[in-house]
Amino acid sequence: MNRKFILAITFCFCCIVQMMSQEKSVISSTEKYKQFGLVWGLMKYHHSEISKGTYNWDETFVENIDKLEGVHTQTNLDAFLLNFVLSVKESKIKTETNTDNLFTKNFDYNWIEQYSGNKELYTKLKKLENNTSIGNYYTSKSGIPTFENEKGFKAFDHKLKSHRLLELFSFWNVIQYYDVNKYLMDKNWFGQLDYFIDSFVNSNSQLEYELAKTSLIVSLNDSHSSYLSKTVADSLFKFRPPIGIKNINDTLVVRSIFNKNLGEKDDLRLGDLIVEINDLDIKSLQKQNIQSKFSSSNDTYSKGLSGWLLRNIEDSVKVKIKRNDSVVTKYIHLYKTFENKDYSYLPFFRIEKEWQIMDDNIGYINLKTISKEDIKKAFEEFSNTNGIIIDLRNYPKNIRGSDITQHTYPDRKEFIKVLSPLGNRPSLASFGKPSISIIIDPDKSGSKNSKYYNKKIILLVDHTTQSKAEYIGMAIQASPTCITVGETTAGSVMNIAIFKLPDGTEFRFTVLGGFYPDGTGVQRKGLKIDHFVQETTSNFTKDQYILKGIELIKSTKK
């Protein structure tokens, strides 16, 4: 009797252990999608046949993703993935594992190690990891990826989970393998993948889907990548105020009123200070509403988008306003549209001319629209000035950095180091000269010039100094007498790549890395600043940047 009891107990225990073992081996949907998306992306960019466009790889994704519903264990998934790899023509393999003198901070294939127990699958994935026999259908023949053959997915439907996941993994994998600035993100790109998958899987409406996509783009921490879909804009930012504001030290200053009658309706006045919106301070709201919806390399660039803080899903918003010595909390009206009528703005010191000689015999050049010819004329006129202020708080339309540096360098010199992705070695990059057709020898500027301008040059920059402007700024900064004044720039210095997602959305990201010759990075950090400008809510109408520039020139006048 005791023996039967012991056998019964043993049998029950074994059953429980077996059930626990089976339950433990069950794999989640998120994990299945993740592993398939990783293998699909590895093959897209590393497989010799797929990477030259032989297969409709988007269609292949959609056809296979739904088949995962019948896969419940890791063992089954390993078999599924192996069959998937074997379903296409075997890749031509040319192995290269040497990474000496290459940039490896984005190199991340550790996930392949989870398949070490399945020798055949593991071996094939490892060979693809180090394969250099790669086509350029999904990238380009030049040194800068262009993704010209990404045309979108025919009949894309966000209501289909398979299509949403295709959207996610198309985005995720191109960043994984070709964003040389990936290592600079706030959060680890691989570490966020589970969260992204859940967001896209659970997007049950168009707004939820667009918000999931917005979150994906925001995660790049790249000022080039700001994107706001019409669905999100219409849903969350439908109504706007009849005023313009500027964020100064986390206070919103009313600097313009677009419609006099609408401004008077809510007693809004120029110079009013908005310190809270919907009971939140501006800094907190900036993080909640702006940094979660717009990709930005740094907080300074993000503050330049503060005009969106007063937009709302409803036609009014609660604000706390300081005016002189009084503080008032009230609701102000917001509008879908309004007529710009009787426009008024705070008086602000502006220099209207593209170039001129100011008081104290100081030259001034605004680079926004000036031509190469006028720059030459300006420097001829400025030869005997006490110093020059170069205003780069803009995006130059007509010039290159060399149009300035030919006047400010005594010799030709290197001013930038460029990090470029390697076409045949995804996720790796190197410092060198990318194939930029409009620029010859793009890391150097200037020429031998014994008559270069050797007085103080003050370069003015702010959060609007971005991309080409930052590139030009780096060239000017290498002038031997240059001093940079302003605030942190946009932190997205180099060329962009445009990638069309399956749903037709085009998003941009900074595809090259920009560094000073000493190795200091510019992506996210912005240009080096010698003197930061301290604007306040009471002094910003007088151009503190120019005033600081004048002060520095006068203090160092020879």
Which residue is listed with tokens 């100081």?
362
Does 201 share its domain with 60?
yes
Domain's final residue, options 295, 320, 345: 345
Which residue is listed with tokens 């699958």?
121
| Residue 452, in any domain of the structure | no
pLDDT higher than threshold 80 for residue 439:
no
Strands 456-461 vs 482-486: parallel, antiparallel or unpaired: parallel
- The band of 19, judged by pLDDT with boundaries at 50, 70 and 90, is very low
Considering the entire predicted model, what is its pTM?
0.91
Does 54 share its domain with 195?
yes
Does 125 share its domain with 272?
no
Does 311 share its domain with 245?
yes
| Residue 297, in any domain of the structure | yes
Higher pLDDT, 351 or 158: 158
Q: CA-based angle 107:112:118, to the nearest 5?
A: 160
| Residue 387, in any domain of the structure | no
Other CB atoms within 10 Å distance of the CB of residue 302: 20
Per-residue pLDDT of 95-114, as tens digits, reads: 999 999 999 999 999 999 99
The answer for residues whose C-beta is within 8 angstroms of residue 407's C-beta and 6 or more apart is 375, 376, 379, 449, 452, 453
pLDDT value, residue 5? 52
| Residue 252, in any domain of the structure | yes
pLDDT higher than threshold 50 for residue 17:
no
- What b/e string do you get for 50-69 counting C-beta neighbours within 10 Å, with b at 16 or more? bbeeebebbebbbebbeebe
Min mean pLDDT across 35-39, 271-275, 435-439 is at 435-439
| Residue 462, in any domain of the structure | no
Does 117 share its domain with 206?
yes
Does 215 share its domain with 79?
yes
Could you give the number of structural domains in the chain? 2
Does 60 share its domain with 197?
yes
Does 166 share its domain with 280?
no
| Residue 461, in any domain of the structure | no
pLDDT value, residue 444? 87
C-alpha to C-alpha distance for 101 and 74, rounded to whole angstroms: 38
- Token reading at 432: 């060198």
- What b/e string do you get for 99-119 counting C-beta neighbours within 10 Å, with b at 16 or more? eeeebeebbebeebeebeebe
| Residue 377, in any domain of the structure | no
Average confidence (pLDDT) over 239-247: 96
Q: How many residues does the chain have?
A: 558
Contact indicator for 397, 368 with CB cutoff of 8 Å: yes
Domain's final residue, options 316, 345, 374: 345
Domain's final residue, options 296, 329, 345: 345
Min mean pLDDT across 299-308, 346-355, 407-416, 500-509 is at 346-355
pLDDT value, residue 348? 85
For the domain that residue 281 is a member of, what is the CATH number? 2.30.42.10
- Kindly report the average pLDDT of the chain as a whole number: 92
Per-residue pLDDT of 464-516, as tens digits, reads: 999 999 999 999 999 999 999 999 999 999 999 999 999 999 999 999 999 99
| Residue 431, in any domain of the structure | no
Domain of residue 269 covers 234-345
Contact indicator for 494, 524 with CB cutoff of 8 Å: no
pLDDT higher than threshold 50 for residue 22:
no
DSSP 488-528: ---S--S-EEEEE-TTS-EEEEE-SEEE-TTS-B-TTT-S-
Does 95 share its domain with 199?
yes
Does 158 share its domain with 297?
no
Does 244 share its domain with 199?
no
- Token reading at 210: 């667009």
Per-residue pLDDT of 361-395, as tens digits, reads: 999 999 999 999 999 999 999 999 999 999 999 99
Does 35 share its domain with 162?
yes
Q: Which of 190, 173, 183, 222 is nearest to 40 (CA)?
A: 173
